Each structure stands twice: as C-alpha cells, then as structure tokens.
C-alpha cells in the first residue's frame, strides 16, 4: 500500500474512477471539466469543487466574502470551460461548532455576490460540523444551449492554434505577494482572491465552429494543456516568447528568482480559458473575441501530431502545475 501523495491527484482520480460502474446514461463521465447527462431534451452539465481552509485558502489572507466568492467562481469556471450556461448551485458548508455566525454570513454574502452577478441562484446545500477548519464544496449545474456543442478536452486536432485568455500565472504570483505581505501588488493579489468565471466568454467560444478543445486553467497552463494533449492524443507545442506576461508579472516575478514565463506555465488558480482553434478560424475568432470581451487573448502555440506531451520551444516541460496531493504541498 502507498500513500496518495506519491500517486498525485490525477493518478488518484484514475485509480478511483477505474472501479466505478460504467457511465450508462452519461454523455460525458469523469475526466472532463463537467459531467454531462441527458435529462429529457436537455444536456445537463454537472461539476463540483471543494475548498479547504489552510489548503486552498487562509483566513488571514482573504476576507470571508472573498473566500465565498472564489469558491463559487472556481466551481462555475468548469461550466464555462464546456461552453455551457450556468443554472444554479448547491453549497456544502462545513465548519467547527464555535465558528462565528457573522463569519459564515459574510462567507455566504461572497457567494451571493458572485451568483447575483452571473444570475445563478443558490438552490440548496448542506451544513455540517467539522472538527477543524472551514470546508466549502460547491456543486454547479448548467446546461448546453440546444444549438451548441460542448467543448471537450479531447477535441484538439493537429494543426490547431492554442489560445489562452488573460494572464495565467498572475494568481500564483498574487499568492506569493500575500505570503510576503506585499500588499501593493493589488492586481496580482486580486487575480488570486477574485478570479472570474469566464462564462460569457466560454459560451461565446462554444458557438464558434473553429473552436475545438477547451479547458479552464486551474492547475497551471502546462498541466491543463497536458490534459488536452492526453485526451486528444496530440502534442501541444508552446512558444515561450508568445506566453502572455502582464506588466505586473514582469516586474514582480524576478523578485522571486523565477521568470514570469515560469509562472505563466505552472502557476495555478487563474481560471482563464485555454482552447484550440482551427488555423483558418484563428484570425476571425481572435478579432471578434477581443472586440466582444475586455480580456486579452493570446495565441501561444500549435497542436501537432505525436505522442501526447506539452513541449516548450521543442523541449518537454517537466514542471508540474498545482497538484493538491504532491509531496511538499
């Protein structure tokens, strides 16, 4: 027997789901951003994301409102990554019996704030006692519009261009700024504490026929593109010079002894969208995306035939993104 730390989160998921009953009735089972189940005439999207105190957040780094807000954003991001429309969510809250009611009310206010913004009502949930620390698990329910096909991790085709929204790596640098108490790094800290689910952007992208595979960047660009590579059976080739790096990343990353591109590749928790586009659709999608959304979009590489892998300037990337069970985390 071995501890799951050695196996890693994705090895663990693979080991655990291997024994589950066949996914009869599911259009998409475990292994993508959302599960999809056909219910009547509707394709229902389902996903859940848990945040654990001292693992995913610290009370002294984030207000309870920000923690609630982020938990909802993280969960809704999975609906965005399929190109779906969010419909409602369920909140499971765990906390010790001595938790202040006001603290929990502020946490819920953060959830409300985000759900109001995206018009996604809280349909229900559960509250349980824990022995230590707060746990927030949010299950989200969405649907695919009847005339839109979901975008799977498995949809990438050789020749596709790889694009990514925003500035992945900002959230990881923001966490470093919080750890160090560098409060003046407001843009980076906000990337960590107030990620936005790219719901409008994802739904729009799923309406573009040239957009093939899509994923949200939760564990780091290299690792998440690795999921696309593996599920699509393709090689993902990134050009370092094309990686989006904001002014804030460029000036702050060197103070940590690492290049901003390292953060762009391996920093997690940005919840931006990464996707692949047919080459003949690239110009059109990029131009319209930029016109429609106040969000940078950057083409960073190409999809090629070959053994599933992520290459940077021709070399396999060995850096890992955020793995919840990896040693030393």
Where in 59-118 is the site for a second copy (CB under 8 A)? 87-88, 90, 92-95, 97-102, 104-105, 108-109, 111-112, 115-116
For residue 121, what are its two tokens?
A: 């009502």
Contact 274, 212 (CB under 8 A): no
292 binds a second copy (CB under 8 A): no
Cα angle, residue 61 at apex, residues 272 and 200 outer, rounded to 5° = 25
For residue 109, what are its two tokens?
A: 């206010």
Q: Identify each DSSP E strand in 104-240 by its residue range.
A: 122-129, 135-143, 161-165, 211-217, 235-238
44 binds a second copy (CB under 8 A): yes
Per CB under 8 A, the list member of 47, 77, 176, 276 interacting with a second copy is 47
Q: Considering the complex, what minimum distance in angstroms separates the CB of residue 104 from a second copy?
A: 6
Q: Considering the complex, what minimum distance in angstroms separates the CB of residue 316 from a second copy?
A: 26
Contact 144, 84 (CB under 8 A): yes
12 binds a second copy (CB under 8 A): yes
Per CB under 8 A, the list member of 63, 130, 154, 304 interacting with a second copy is 130
Tell me which stretch binds a second copy (CB under 8 A): 22-30, 177-185, 230-238, 303-311: 22-30
- DSSP annotation of 206 reads T
Site size for a second copy, by CB under 8 A? 85
24 binds a second copy (CB under 8 A): yes
Measured between alpha carbons, how far is residue 85 from residues 172, 224, 263 in Å? 28, 22, 30
259 binds a second copy (CB under 8 A): no
131 binds a second copy (CB under 8 A): yes
């Amino acid at each position: 027997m071995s501890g799951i730390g050695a196996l890693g989160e994705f090895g663990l998921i693979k080991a655990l789901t291997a024994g589950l009953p066949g996914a009869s009735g599911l259009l998409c089972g475990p292994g993508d951003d959302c599960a999809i189940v056909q219910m009547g005439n509707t394709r229902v999207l389902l996903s859940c994301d848990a945040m654990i105190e001292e693992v995913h957040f610290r009370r002294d780094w984030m207000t309870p409102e920000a923690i609630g807000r982020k938990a909802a954003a993280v969960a809704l991001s999975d609906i965005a990554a399929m190109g779906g429309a969010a419909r409602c969510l369920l909140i499971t809250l765990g906390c010790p019996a001595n938790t202040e009611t006001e603290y929990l009310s502020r946490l819920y206010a953060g959830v409300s704030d985000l759900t109001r913004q995206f018009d996604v009502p809280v349909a229900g949930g559960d509250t349980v006692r824990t022995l230590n620390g707060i746990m927030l698990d949010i299950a989200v329910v969405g649907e695919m519009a009847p005339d839109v096909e979901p975008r799977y991790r498995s949809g990438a085709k050789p020749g596709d261009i790889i694009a990514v929204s925003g500035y992945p790596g900002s959230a990881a640098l923001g966490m470093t700024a919080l750890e160090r108490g560098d409060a003046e790094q407001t843009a980076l800290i906000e990337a960590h504490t107030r990620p936005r689910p790219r719901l409008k952007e994802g739904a729009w992208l799923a309406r573009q026929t040239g957009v093939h595979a899509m994923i949200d960047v939760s564990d780091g660009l290299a690792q998440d593109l690795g999921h696309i590579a593996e599920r699509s059976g393709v090689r993902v080739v990134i050009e370092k010079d094309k990686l989006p790096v904001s002014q804030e990343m460029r000036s702050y990353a060197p103070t940590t002894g690492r290049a901003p591109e390292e953060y762009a590749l391996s920093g997690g928790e940005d919840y931006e969208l990464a996707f692949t586009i047919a080459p003949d659709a690239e110009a059109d999608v990029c131009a319209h995306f930029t016109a429609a959304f106040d969000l940078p979009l950057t083409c960073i590489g190409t999809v090629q035939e070959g053994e599933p892998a992520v290459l940077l300037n021709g070399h396999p990337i060995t850096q890992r993104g955020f793995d919840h069970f990896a040693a030393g985390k």
